[in-house]
Chains A and B, each alone.
Chain A
């Protein structure tokens, strides 16, 4: 990996004196390593080879938080890149940074590159669009949580692997059976706040925060201590107490347990596909995220996680033209279809989904379209468009802490969520006063 970067650096440094005459350089900072890093590099190379006016220079700047920090520090020093990858949690921070960012719809209009905001999937686009419908950043990698099933583990515990797992009620029964059948890790999860609170709320069409989850204004308050969320977390807490839900950590630590075949059920992003399909030595399948029948007759859509591309202020007009061309290239159906099929991330345009379906990918890889269906089956409501909260990275940290208190039995779900609301709200007020 490092060798590749060094090689690319050496090549670009060697070539730049010659190319600088004709080509405009565009800096692109991202957070991907490993397989994803290679795929991003391939996209950039394809774009660079497809035209001779612009050259995109991609660089990896660490994980999501580190990349955002690098971008912010660079802006303060006047060295910001043209394109910065920012995870969905940083969306409100970027939106409020008027003067530091150049909205994508504006970049596209000025550059004259082809751009049709309606081509993007609503529930993906909604996250990064103003209430007036202007796209601020380009959705790049978006995933949504699904339920991964280890069929061999189900079989071993004497449970029919084809059992209906569409609702949490049914999952609850299956967890009992798995436990009785000797399974030591019936259920495990990644990204607990994202899946079991943020997506849970959207999926059951209940607000996570006031003011349309923060879309309608900075004076938003958390509403995650409502009966629906508390009911779910209470059930999860009981499962944790009985050893039916195993807590492994705040991030995606549980993925290692599941891929090693140690757990039966796993709630994780659809983008877990790349890792699971390459490592799992057991039969697995993908199911839609379960919902509570007691709370809703039919679930709403889930929301996304992942990152979008923000264009930073302070560069030359012809460079922005290059940015526009590149973003337009990234949104094209074939590029998106490849990305979707290789990574398990959602296609960001409806057309990329069609291309994938027509190619027969979903038929040969069953379950890979579940995330797409789950996201697009219903038109998003105010509760399921996404979340836009300031200091959200810290708020997630608070939620993680409070959830740990539920899993360890130190607090009831109600106490923990009341405390999370109180602590989170005080951060939201601070963010509001810092961005007035």
Chain B
């Protein structure tokens, strides 16, 4: 029979989960409830009066073709950020894992970018690609390519994706690296004796064993690209040119804190909440089936 450790009373378990529950309540449930409540009103900025509009804010948003377009922008952005931060991280982890000597040094160096705040990372990349004084844009112009992310939407998107993914590579690298360490050597050696070359071993043995980590990182990175990339967008493009890099979370900020339109901003937060919730459900329902624990 399965051996279970159980608590004798109710009090201790309650006390033990209380911090987590309180933190979730204060920092998540309360603000989320506030956002849902406020999304039903058009308030004036000073909170002097407020007009109940029911689902009017949602109707206003969803009838705006620029808002609808920002769903597509967000989808493209998130997909690119997730891919650009996971694939290089996996590659680097595999390479670092093969090192016998000095992997500690590589590991340390590869982790550094994670310590850089998104807004600062944004400024760093902006300086490198600045159309006037940027080092990289200067080299590009020497090669005959005129870099101008101020007017070219594709270049702007590329730049914010790279700046957002850069620091994230470190985070993903750490997880992949740790996961690689736990792949049993004996299995790999057996395959090697059978004549499987490196990449074959990687795709048939290592990758399936990494799938739980990869799945976890997928969920975390999608959430990251939806919410935490705000600082990068704000410092590099401000959502432009035109609306090329206006992702959903950036619009929440600009309508709420620049435009003082708290009703619309709250409604957008609610929509964002629903979108990310749905995405996570989909990931758990469909993607997780392919994960081998």
Contact = CB atoms under 8 A, between A and B. Distances in A.
Interface residues of B, number: 31
Contacts of B240: 250, 400-401, 404
Contacts of A257: 132
B258 A72 contact: no
B46 A97 contact: yes
B169 interface: no
B46 A408 contact: no
Contacts of B152: 408
B43 interface: yes
Contact of B64 (A68, A253, A426): A426
Interface string B206-249: 00000000000000000000000000000000111111000000
Given A250-B240, A257-B132, A401-B242, A391 B259 contact: yes
B44 to A, nearest CB: 5
Contacts of B45: 72, 93, 97
A270 to B, nearest CB: 24
Contacts of A426: 60, 64
Nearest to B150: A249
A393 B46 contact: no
B48 interface: yes
A72 to B, nearest CB: 5
Interface of B is mostly: loop
Nearest to A404: B241
A407 B151 contact: yes
A426 B261 CA distance: 13
Given A97-B48, A393-B258, A247 B42 contact: no
The number of chain A residues touching the other chain, given as a range, is: 35 or more
Chain A at the B interface: SS class: helix
A100 B132 CA distance: 44
Contacts of B150: 247-249, 253
A427 B67 CA distance: 13
Interface stretch (A102-110, A333-341, A365-373, A428-436): A428-436
Contacts of B79: none
A430 B261 contact: yes
B241 A391 contact: no
A410 B242 contact: yes
A393 B51 CA distance: 22
Contact of A434 (B51, B132, B255, B258): B51
Interface in A80-125: 93, 96-100
Contacts of B131: 248
Contacts of A401: 240-243
A293 B202 CA distance: 73
A72 B256 CA distance: 12
Contacts of B263: 434
A394 interface: yes
Interface in A391-436: 391, 393-394, 397, 400-402, 404-405, 407-408, 410, 423, 426-427, 430, 433-436
Contacts of A98: 48
Contacts of B132: 248, 256-257, 260, 262
Interface in B32-81: 42-48, 51, 60, 64, 66
A135 B173 CA distance: 61
A93 B51 CA distance: 16
Contacts of B259: 391, 393-394, 397, 427
A3 interface: no
Which among B47, B66, B152, B255 has the highest number of chain A CB atoms within 10 Å? B47
A76 interface: yes
B254 A76 contact: no
A402 B255 CA distance: 17
Nearest to B131: A248
Interface of B: 42-48, 51, 60, 64, 66, 131-132, 150-152, 238-243, 254-255, 257-261, 263-264
Interface of A: 65, 68-69, 72, 75-76, 93, 96-100, 247-250, 253, 256-257, 260, 262, 391, 393-394, 397, 400-402, 404-405, 407-408, 410, 423, 426-427, 430, 433-436
19 contacts: A72-B46, A72-B260, A76-B47, A99-B46, A99-B48, A248-B132, A248-B150, A393-B259, A394-B254, A397-B258, A397-B259, A401-B243, A402-B242, A404-B151, A408-B152, A426-B64, A430-B42, A434-B43, A434-B51
